[in-house]
Chains A and B, each alone.
Chain A
Amino acid sequence: MNPREWALVAFTLLMQTSVGVLLVVVALQPFVSRGPMHASARPFDLPLLIAGTAAVLALLASLSHLGHPLQAWLALTNVRTSWLSREVVLAVLFACAGAMFTALVRSESGSAVVRGVVCVLAVVLGVAAVFAMSRLYMVPAQPGWNRVTTPVTFFATTLLIGSVVVIAILVSQPVDLASPGLKAGTYMELGVGTYTELGPGPYGGVTGPLVLIAIALLAMQVLLIPAHLAALVREPAAAISAGSVGHAATWLAAARALAAVAAIVLLVGMLRGMPGALSPAAAGIATLVLVFVSELLGRVLFYASSVHLGPV
């Protein structure tokens, strides 16, 4: 794999992490019920901080693969025909909208309408950025990438990492149920003027469905691995530049599947109220690490399996 592609691995994974965390935080709104605001019930502060940090690191990583990073602003000038330009514009706008949303939530300023508008804007820009991010790889000269599995896996990664980050944080910082001012269960502020009920325990309430979603996405990613490897073998004879992975693809895919299956085992354990010797926090962090390693290997495999059509 070309060294500069490590910067792209970092950019795509971190930006998808940022979008995914924000999407998951916002997606919990249907579970919202009005209740009293309480200082101890702000478990979404950390996910939003992580989303913001990931977006900033992603943009910095994207600069590092350029020959002339100081002229990077020029990449904003061809949104009319270039998916790469659209990706850059959307990613920057998403980062700005996400930062604004986080600032409004943290400072508890702005009306509910303003927070709602900024929230919707950040979500739309984030989804559009991930779509553009995947669409720019779908070019005829790259038959290995020019498949519907490219946007499918990019969006799966987005939601998967987003879910697992939020799960890890929720189970790691259970809110004090005996805290004065809280009604039954615990509450978290969403920043849109309302509150969400977490449920009676760290694995109840909203974390249950999130764990199920994460398991489904992990299973899908694992099931797509054989299809990806088969597609590499079916590389057309006209494709002159074979992927640079060769046999390494199989090992990368196997390691990825192993990490994903281990994460699924931990997530299933969470659903069953395990995790035996593991504390909830340790189980959450271990799951997050395994999922990130799995997605990292998957993304390395994606870039390394570039097959260039034509006489390169």
Chain B
Amino acid sequence: MQLAFYLDLSACSGCKACQVACKDKHDLEVGRLWRRVATVEGGEWIQQGAAWTTTVFAYSLSLSCMHCEQPACVDACPTRAMHRREDGTVAIADDRCIGCRYCEWVCPYGAPRYDARAGRMTKCDFCQDERQAGRPPACVAACPMRALEFGELRDLEARHGSTRDIYPLPDPAMTRPSLVVTPHRDAQRATSDLGRRTSDDAREHQLPRIGNREEL
């Protein structure tokens, strides 16, 4: 069993209802986000003779813990507080977390977030209590576009394919994230040559980049 999220980027409007629902459900203070929505933007205006054409695009990417099949955080955690449950979700045992924040460094998705008041790490727990009550996770329930779903990873892959290498997500081979994505028409592949381009290149050639980095 491996639970996973499905994300339909062609339907996502970037309204951030999922982000707000998550914050509300888990009572997260300002700055601590278990789910956040990145706005990816790029393109430029190109002159062709007397005419100007545009390649400008933007798409949104709703992100939370990927509940990876090979989670870097679980291996790296020195106290074994970070662990995988039977349903494949990755969770933190509060009584074992010492707040060393190493998981924050090793997670390529930036999922673990530090709770300064509790002195421990926190992260998306796939709304375990909601699921036990037979309800979907708060983010899935809140999505007005039905762009977010959850379910068994193999079922989601059978229905939607196995695409998950979408920029700005890192190469999925790194941790095997439990995420299935229907790409936006302009979405860039994370495994393309884009990942090897520098930030200077991105600025100069208007390659895709995150427009709301400070919010994430």
A residues in contact with B50, CB < 8 Å: none
| B108-122 interface code vs A (CB 8 A; 1 in, 0 out) | 111000100011100
B residues in contact with A237, CB < 8 Å: 194-195, 197-199, 201-202, 207, 209
In the complex, are the beta carbons of B76 and A82 less than 8 A apart? yes
Flag whether B184 is at the interface (Cβ < 8 A): no
A residues in contact with B174, CB < 8 Å: 140-141
Min CB–CB distance A154 → chain B (angstroms): 16
Given contacts A68-B120, A237-B195, contact A141 B106 (CB under 8 A): yes
A residues in contact with B63, CB < 8 Å: 311
In the complex, are the beta carbons of A68 and B99 less than 8 A apart? yes
In the complex formed, the residue of B with least CB distance to A88 is B78
Given contacts A141-B105, A310-B169, contact A74 B99 (CB under 8 A): no
Flag whether A60 is at the interface (Cβ < 8 A): no
| A100-111 interface code vs B (CB 8 A; 1 in, 0 out) | 000000000000
Flag whether A235 is at the interface (Cβ < 8 A): yes
Which residues of chain A from 93 to 151 have any CB-CB distance to chain B below 8 Å in the complex?
A: 136-137, 139-142
In the complex, are the beta carbons of A236 and B216 less than 8 A apart? no
Q: How far is the CA of A128 from the CA of B170 in the complex (A)?
A: 31
Flag whether A33 is at the interface (Cβ < 8 A): no
B residues in contact with A85, CB < 8 Å: 78-79
B residues in contact with A84, CB < 8 Å: 76, 78, 100, 102
Min CB–CB distance B142 → chain A (angstroms): 20
B residues in contact with A241, CB < 8 Å: 110, 213
| A76-99 interface code vs B (CB 8 A; 1 in, 0 out) | 111001111100100000000000
Which of A4, A75, A238 touches B190 (beta carbons < 8 Å)?
Answer: A238
Flag whether B153 is at the interface (Cβ < 8 A): no
Q: Could you tell me the dominant secondary structure of chain A's interface residues?
A: loop
| A139-173 interface code vs B (CB 8 A; 1 in, 0 out) | 11110000000000000000000000000000000
Of the listed residues A137, A140, A235, A237, the one surrounded by the most CB atoms of chain B closer than 10 A to its CB is A237
Which of A67, A83, A139, A239 touches B98 (beta carbons < 8 Å)?
Answer: A67
B residues in contact with A142, CB < 8 Å: 105-106
Flag whether B96 is at the interface (Cβ < 8 A): yes
B residues in contact with A235, CB < 8 Å: 198-199
Flag whether A66 is at the interface (Cβ < 8 A): yes
In the complex, are the beta carbons of B118 and A67 less than 8 A apart? yes
In the complex, are the beta carbons of A78 and B80 less than 8 A apart? yes
A residues in contact with B105, CB < 8 Å: 137, 139, 141-142, 306, 308
Which of A75, A140, A310, A312 touches B79 (beta carbons < 8 Å)?
Answer: A75
| 10 examples of A-B residue contacts, CB within 8 angstroms | A71-B98, A74-B78, A74-B96, A81-B76, A139-B106, A142-B105, A236-B195, A237-B201, A239-B199, A311-B63
Q: Which A residues are within 8 Å of any B CB, using their own CB?
A: 4, 65-69, 71-72, 74-78, 81-85, 88, 136-137, 139-142, 233-242, 306, 308-312
